[in-house]
Amino acid sequence: MNKDGTEIVNPPWVYGPSEMKEWIDATYPTRKDKKKKKEKRSILQDVRISIDIKGEKKPLTGLKLFGFERVEEHFNVIEIVQILLRGFARAGFRNVEEIKLDNQSIYKHPELRYDIRKIIEFVGKYRKGDFKRAELKVLFEENCKAKVTIKKIHARRSAPIELFFDGSIEKERLSRFLNYVKEHREIEFLYRHSP
């Protein structure tokens, strides 16, 4: 030790075998360390998320007393579909299985891989229509399927956007998706439910 408190480090050829192993382990991680790092990724199972969008809600029915009041949101369903698809693309989802607008299927090709970018442009053609409901099914490899329901008219106590990730998804991918949606749309509430 020097008088200033620093330790003099000898080159590796001065050390004995045990010190040499410590020096190598410090510079290059062992297999055990690599396995531990892989295990650290947290994986979530069967996640449900409800998203409420900030904006004006127009009441439609007078059942407020019983809690069954229906409201109409003021947003474009196709715009929300495109934002969600871009978020899925950012999170690594690549295959759109099916898209329904007002219970009519406009796209159904589960066999096509890597089609999410084309679908974003394809859905943009429907932007002028006034749709009340949309449903999406998006696949991530084979272990996770995302089902999305977007409702323009819904009960006040429920959210207009419901997402259900069927299978296992990494927490990092999910947060990447949610961050993209938060950046591009003002979200009032974000709930996470787990079964």
Q: Using one digit for the tens of pLDDT, what is the confidence trace for 78-111?
A: 999 999 999 999 998 889 999 999 999 999 988 8
* C-alpha to C-alpha distances, 115 to 30, 43, 63, 169, nearest whole angstrom: 39, 25, 43, 20
CB atoms within 10 A of CB 137: 18
Percent of the chain with pLDDT over 90: 37
Task: List pLDDT tens digits, range 137-165.
Answer: 999 877 889 999 999 998 888 889 999 99
Task: List pLDDT tens digits, range 37-47.
Answer: 666 678 888 89
Q: What is the pLDDT of residue 82?
A: 94
Contact 146, 164 (CB under 8 A): yes
Q: What is the pLDDT of residue 147?
A: 96
Q: Give the separation between CA 79 and CA 186, rounded to whole angstroms.
A: 13
Which strand (E) or helix (H) includes residue 37? helix 31-39
Q: What is the pLDDT of residue 156?
A: 81
Question: What pTM value is reported for the model?
Answer: 0.76
Segment 113-124 mean pLDDT: 88
Question: Per DSSP, what are the bridge partners of residue 148?
Answer: 136, 163
- The amino acid sitting at 37 is K
* pLDDT greater than 70 at residue 14: no
